[in-house]
Amino acid sequence: MYLASQTRMLGEDEGQYFLMGKYFSEFKYPASDNTGKPFSVSPLVPVFYAPFFITFGQSLSIAKIVTVIFGMLAVFLVYLTGKRINIWYGIISAFLLLSMSLFSHFMFIAYVEVPIAFFSILATYMILNQNTYKKSILTGTILSLSFFTKQTGLFLIAGFIIFEFIMYYKKRNIKIIKMIMLTLLVSLSLCSLFLIRNIMLYNYPYIHFLNLFFEAPEAVTAGAWEEVTGIMLSIPLLSYMDYASNIGTIVFVLGIFSLSWILIYKETTKELLLSLILSALFLILYYIYYFLELGIAEPRNIFTIFPHLSLLAGFFAFKLKEKHKYLIITVLTILVLSFYTSITIATRTSSSQRYPDDYIQAMEWLKKNTNKDSIILTTYGGSLKYYAERNNVWLIKELPEVMSTSNATYIYEIMKKYNVSYILIWRGVLYEKFAIPESNLMGVFTYNFLDTIKDNEHFETVYQNENNVIFEVI
C-alpha cells in the first residue's frame, strides 16, 4: 500500500474512474462529465474511491490504495479456494498469483481489472460452496458486481453458468438447475439496471457486443478505433512467448504441466474445472474480438482470470509435493521465487512514472487556463480527463493523414471539424512514423505534424516546458 501511494503512475483508462470517484465524493452521479460527454463507465469502483477522496481530499495516491486492497483480497481468496483441497495447494496458488508479472504492476497503476479479478475469484469461492438458494442469490449478486466493475463481468456470468450445467450433467440433480436459474435471474436483473440507465440517458447501452442491436451515437463512431485500420493492423495478437511474459514464466510453465497432468491422469476437481472453463472462455473471446474486429483485443482483459490461472498452475506444484515429498524443496523454491518476483515488480513500478512531472504540469495548465468545454487533441485521454478535467479527441478516421500531411490548412480544417481547441504534444509520444509496429499505442504524434503546425498562423504556442508543448487552434 505504501509503494502504491508513492507513485503517480496511473493506468491510462482509469482516469475516468477516478474522475467519477471525485463526483461521487461530492455526492453527484451526473449523466455526463463537465464537458457534456456521456459518463458511461461502470460505477462500482468509483464508489470505493469516493470515501478516500472525502477523507483525504483529492489525493490520487491515497485513492489508489483501493486497488491494492482488492488485489490482496484476491490473493487471500485464492488461498481459501485452494485450501478446499489442501492447505498447501492454497498457499502455493496464492504465491503464484503474487508472482504474475502484471499482478503487482496493475495494482499500483490502479487498473479496474484488479477489482474484477477479485469478484471473479469471490464468485468462484461462493459457487463452489453453493448448496442453498440463499447462496445462489448471493452468488448472483456478486456476479452482477463484477459487471458493475467492468463490462467483461458479463463473460464471467456466462462461464459460471456453463460450469453449473456441467455439474448438473454429472449429478443429474434438479436442485442444481433451480439454483442455476436463480443465480442467472439475480445477476442479469441487477446488470440490466445499468443497461436501462444508459439506454434511457443516451439511447445506447455502451456495451460493445450489443452494437448489433443499437445504432451508436456520433460521439462513439467519430472516434471509433476500427476506422483507423492502420492502427489496428499494428497491434499483433499475442504469441506464446507474449503469454509467458504477461502471465509470468513460472505460472505459464506450471500451467502447461498442470494441463498435461489432467489429460494424462484424468484427474480434476471442481476448482480446476471452473478455472479451466473461465480460462478457455476468456482466451477464446480474446481471439474472437481480434478477428471479428469487435473491439481492441487487449491482453489486460485476460487479467480477470489471473486468480484461476494461479489455481491451475498451483495444481502441478501441489502434485509434486503430494507424490514426492522430497520435492518440497522445489515447491519452496517456487514460493520464494514468486515472492521475490512480486517484490521486484512492485519496487520497479513504484519508482517509475508513466507521466513525468512536466507532462502533468502541462495538463494542470490546461485545467487552469482553458474553458471547461475545450476539446484537446492528444493521445492519453484518461490522464487528461483526470488531471486536466478536459475531454480529448484522438482516434478520428483522418488521423493518419493528419500526422503525415504537410498541409497546415488541411490539419486546421480537421481540427475545426472535431471542435478541437488545443493540441497537447508530449515528447514521450513523438515519433517519426504514426503507427509503431509491435506496439499497443493507438497512433502517436509525428515530427512531421509538429513541424507543420509550428509557426503557422492557425496554431499559436500558448504553453511550453522541457518536453511538452500546447498549441491553441486559432
pTM tops 0.85: no
How many Å apart are CA 410 and CA 375, to the nearest integer?
A: 18
Candidates 146, 82, 109, 105; CA nearest to 309 is 82
How many Å apart are CA 5 and CA 402, to the nearest integer?
A: 39
Beta bridge pairs of residue 32: 38
How many Å apart are CA 78 and CA 124, to the nearest integer?
A: 9
Give the Å distances, CA to CA, from 217 to 106, 145, 205: 32, 27, 10
Q: Which residues are CB-neighbours of 137 under 8 A, at least 6 positions away?
A: 182, 183, 186
How many Å apart are CA 114 and CA 306, to the nearest integer?
A: 9
Distance of CA 453 to the CA centre of its chain: 35
Task: Give pLDDT, residue 142.
Answer: 92
* Cα angle, residue 364 at apex, residues 363 and 369 outer, rounded to 5°: 100
- Do residues 356 and 428 touch, judged by C-beta distance below 8 A? yes
Task: Give pLDDT, residue 226.
Answer: 43
pLDDT in single tens digits along all 474 residues of the chain: 555 555 555 555 677 788 888 888 888 876 666 555 666 678 888 889 888 888 877 666 677 788 889 999 999 999 999 999 999 899 989 988 988 877 877 787 778 889 989 999 998 999 888 888 999 999 999 999 988 888 778 878 888 888 878 887 777 788 888 888 899 999 999 988 888 887 887 777 766 666 656 666 655 554 444 444 444 444 444 444 455 566 777 888 888 888 888 888 888 888 888 888 888 877 777 666 555 544 454 556 678 888 999 999 889 888 887 777 666 666 667 667 666 666 666 555 555 555 677 888 999 999 999 998 899 998 877 778 878 888 888 878 788 889 989 999 999 999 999 889 999 998 877 888 776 655 556 667 889 999 999 988 999 999 999 889 999 998
* Element (DSSP H or E) covering residue 471: strand 468-473
How many Å apart are CA 316 and CA 307, to the nearest integer?
A: 15
How many Å apart are CA 282 and CA 219, to the nearest integer?
A: 29
Q: Which residues are CB-neighbours of 300 under 8 A, at least 6 positions away?
A: 102, 106, 111, 113
- Do residues 420 and 375 touch, judged by C-beta distance below 8 A? yes
How many Å apart are CA 336 and CA 342, to the nearest integer?
A: 10
Positive or negative: CA dihedral 391, 392, 396, 402: positive
Q: Would you call 429 helix, strand, or coil by DSSP?
A: helix
How many Å apart are CA 341 and CA 104, to the nearest integer?
A: 9
How many Å apart are CA 124 and CA 120, to the nearest integer?
A: 6
Positive or negative: CA dihedral 293, 41, 430, 446: positive
Helical segments of 100-208, H only: 103-108, 113-128, 133-149, 153-171, 174-202
